[in-house]
Structure 1
Amino acid sequence: MRILSVSNFFDTHGGGLERVAGHLNREFAAAGHEVAWAASDADGLPANPAQSVALRCVNPTESLTGLPMPIPGPRSVVRLWRAVRQADAVVVHDALYVTSILAMIFAKVARRRTVMVQHIGAIPFANPLLNAMLKLANALVTAPMMAAVDHLAFISATVRADLLGSHPKRESLLVFNGTDRSIFHDRPSAPRGEARARWALPGDAKLAVFVGRFVEKKGLRVLRLVAEQRPEVQFALVGQGPIDPRVWGLPNVHVLGQQPQQSIADLYRAADVLLLPSVGEGYPLVIQEAMACGLPVICGVQSAHADPEARRWLVGIDIDLDDAVRSAAACAAALDGPAPPRADRAAMARYAAETYNWTRMASALLDGIAPVSR
């Protein structure tokens, strides 16, 4: 069976959604299917460019709002149409992207089976105009997309409740992202000092790690205030984006840029906590990967409740971008809390290793596509 995945960008963009799409494509291929991947080529092609359907897009909103919205040109629209027609099934990642909307329309016209993986729900921006626009977009676009898709999946219980309500009438699937267990695993005896020295991080200070896009919804303003309030804590920031933390001028903030997955895993094992004060998230992949490494997590309450079984290990903070000072104070207080016992961290890592599995996630989605092959 030929499966076309459609996402906003390829995984070279560095966001969690694109990384999920990349992992699933590899699982689909390992299961014996022919795969293709359509996305904006703004940040380059994925590791297997032969499978890519590169779309030339403009992305005017990301630098202004932090919200990426790649818009394909006419030739790329035609390229996407041809890719949909050549596929047996289309897997769409999130509803609100122009590429997702076009792919869904083309799939319905061509009578191809569709699966949609919804990663995010509402995003509470500090700007009330953006909030109103997103609410309207979810009503006018996300809801019809969910109604039109053949098989609907969510990566977070909170996103499902946000978009379908507490007692949804629409049948859907809850599928958690996986982790690469060959990279992200607990290793209590790992030499923390060596990993810290690699990035010139103090060996004896408390180290909080942030991994994600440098955008408003990830809580960068909150993070800056926490770093100002806790100068004795060191903050290692992995990622990139329109916000540049280097201009903060804070000596305890270390911007490491993009890092390979193995280096991020080493950093998790050398750190004391993952701090991700984000809003409007589903279940960020970095949280699951940090859990697999046995690293305590402080995150937005929506993310902390994404997997009901994992809530006991995650410290959820009610992040309000309109009240960043209060949110930062709550995060700082959580940083001052006692470190969880080693046994609890080991139990969390075992749970992540057993529960977050890419093959299982891909198999659940393939079950929704299966009628095509019969």
Structure 2
Amino acid sequence: MRVLTVSAFFESHGGGIEIVASALAQALARRGHDSLLAATALDPPPATSNVSSIALTARDPIEAVTGLPMPLLNRAARARLEDEVRRADALVIHDALYSTSLLARRYAERHKKPWLLIQHVGQIPYSSRVLRTVLRVANNLVTAPMITAAPQTVFISDVVRSQFTHLRCPRPPQLMFNGVDGTAFRAATENEKLALRQSLGVSAQRPQMLFVGRFVEKKGLSALRVLAALRPECDFLLVGNGPIDPSNWDLANVRVLGRKDRTELANIYRAADALVLPSMGEGYPLVVQEALACGLAVYCGADTAAADPAASSFLEGVEVDPRAPEITAQRFANAIAHPLSALPDQEASVFARERYDWDANAAKIERLLRALL
């Protein structure tokens, strides 16, 4: 099949949705499909040999003001997207609340192409009442109708699925957790961990707490800042970028590593002791599964810890209040073990690498698409 994957951004944007979209597109290609990935040209397309990238010219004036990424295609890009939809046999659309997704749906229906929606997130409890209201209205007016219109919907989190169980869908929605590259994301040996820390220039004795994600409010950056101040005996390694700049926090135990490719990121996971993610409303972030595969302790929001019930015993869920970052930070500070284990959790690593598999996900997507043809 010629399968067109539509995402708001390419993987280089740094968010979880686009990383998942790219990984699934590559897995579909490995199954012999003519796999294409269309996304906005705001970031460089991936350098993959088995997936054809379609860069769509766009602008994103809304994210700089609100923190909400919402790219808008120009006329030529809309025409290009429609042409690619016309040529495709089937579409995989990632997340409803993007103009790229809405346009892909419109063109798929216009040209009678089967399409599948993968819904990653639901309601996000922003600290701003205005943003919470805007997102709630958008979910009611855009996301819910998209889900009910989709010939097939797939959720990547049980928590997100539960937010939309009241909707009537053409086919029963499916639950499919993100995959993990088990070759790259694995637990380190003790010697390997020490060598990785030396290469990164981080302490071999101090606990290394890792954050991976966009530097935006919904990721819990305000709570993370307070947490770093509360736990000065720990180092906090921050991977990512965004409108918030943690290098301005003036905290000696915070180190901003910036954006990293997948190989570099896997090494940073193996050098760390724990992942800290004080966010809410994200579904089941890929970074949690990658951290588990590397054997890290994981401290995350309670809703994230409930996304996959089978993984709950490996996750430390902490109640997050986005309107009270000091309280949230104190809860995380209390939850973090004293001391942290210096050795990776091999049981968690084996669990994650066996349970989360991109190729198995691609096979499921293939079956669902063929049922729509």
Please indicate, yes or no, whether the TM-score normalized by the shorter chain is above 0.5.
yes
Instruction: Report the counterpart of residue 141 of structure 2 in structure 1.
Output: 140
CA distance in 2, matches of 1:224, 1:165: 38
- Aligned-pair distance for 1:28? 1.0
Corresponding position of 2:234: 233
SS of 2:237's partner is: strand
Q: Give the 3 Å change call, closer, same or farther, for CA 188–197 of structure 1 in structure 2.
A: closer
1:26: which partner in 2?
26
- What's 1:252 paired with? 253
Aligned-residue offset at 1:226: 0.3
The residue number in structure 2 matching 1:201 is 202
Distance change in 2, residues 1:167/1:318 (3 Å):
farther
Q: Are the counterparts in 1 of residues 116 and 152 from structure 2 also a CA contact under 8 Å?
A: yes
Give 1:292 deviation, angstroms: 0.5
Structure 1: distance between partners of 2:198 and 2:339: 25
Kindly provide the CA deviation profile for residues 7-34 of structure 1, in whole angstroms up to 9, marking residues without a partner as x.
Answer: 0101111111111111111111111111
By how many angstroms is 1:62 displaced?
1.8
Q: For residue 8 of structure 1, give the secondary structure of its aligned residue in structure 2.
A: coil
Cα shift at 1:192: 2.5
Question: Given residue 203 of structure 1, which amino acid in structure 2 is its aligned partner?
Answer: A
Could you say if the C-alpha distance between residues 313 and 338 of structure 1 is closer, same or farther in structure 2, counting changes exceeding 3 Å? farther
Determine the structure 2 residue equivalent to 1:3.
3
Shift in Å at residue 66 of structure 1?
Answer: 2.1
Number of residues of Structure 1 aligned to a counterpart in Structure 2:
372
User: How do residues 123-138 of structure 1 correspond to structure 2 at under 5 angstroms?
Assistant: 123-138=124-139
The answer to whether the 8 Å contact 1:317/1:331 transfers is yes
1:112-149 deviation digits (Å, cap 9, x = unpaired): 00100001011111110110010011111111100111
**SS of corresponding position for 1:164:** coil
- Unpaired stretches in structure 1, ≥5 consecutive residues: none
Q: Which residue of 2 aligns with 1:370?
A: 370
Further displaced range: 54-63 or 157-166: 157-166
- 2:179 and 2:244 map into 1 onto residues whose CA distance is 28
Q: 1:140 to 1:166 in 2, by over 3 A?
A: closer
Alpha-carbon spacing, 1:168–1:320, altered in 2? closer, same or farther (3 Å): farther
Is contact 1:164–1:170 with CA below 8 Å preserved after alignment? no
Alignment partners' CA distance in 2, 1:370 and 1:298: 39
Q: Compared with structure 1, are the counterparts of its residues 372 and 34 closer, same or farther at alpha carbon in structure 2 (3 Å cutoff)?
A: farther
Cross-structure match for 1:94 = 95
Q: Which residue of 1 aligns with 2:346?
A: 346
Q: d(CA) in 2 for partners of 1:168 and 1:284?
A: 25
Aligned to 1:321, the other structure's residue is in SS state coil
Structure 1 residue 198: Cα displacement: 2.3
Partner of 1:300: 301
Q: 1:236 corresponds to which letter in structure 2?
A: L
The yes-or-no answer on 1:63 pairing with 2:64 is yes
Paired residue secondary structure (1:126): coil
User: CA distance change for structure 1 residues 290 and 165 in 2, over 3 Å: closer, same or farther?
Assistant: farther
Instruction: Give the drift of 1:342.
Output: 6.1
Q: Distance in 1 between matches of 2:327 and 2:88?
A: 50
User: Is the CA contact (8 Å cut-off) linking 2:6 and 2:39 kept in structure 1?
Assistant: yes
Q: Distance in 2 between matches of 1:305 and 1:266?
A: 27
The one-letter code of the counterpart of 2:371 is: P
Once residues 74 and 367 of structure 1 are traced to their aligned partners in structure 2, the CA distance between those partners, rounded to angstroms, is 34
RMSD of aligned alpha carbons: 1.9
Match of 1:320 in 2: 321
TM (norm. structure 2) is 0.95
Deviation at 1:165, TM superposition (A): 5.0
The one-letter amino acid of 2:275's match is: L
Mean Cα displacement is larger for which, 162-171 or 22-31?
Answer: 162-171
> Which residue does 1:358 correspond to in 2?
358
* Residue in structure 2 matched with residue 291 of structure 1 by the alignment: 292
Q: Which residue of 1 aligns with 2:107?
A: 106
Tell me which amino acid in the other structure corresponds to 1:20: V
1:263 is aligned to 2:269: no
d(CA) in 1 for partners of 2:235, 2:228:
8
Offset of residue 63 of structure 1? 2.0
Amino acid at match of 1:124: P
Deviation at 1:332, TM superposition (A): 0.7
Alignment CA distance shift 1:168-1:346 (3 Å): farther
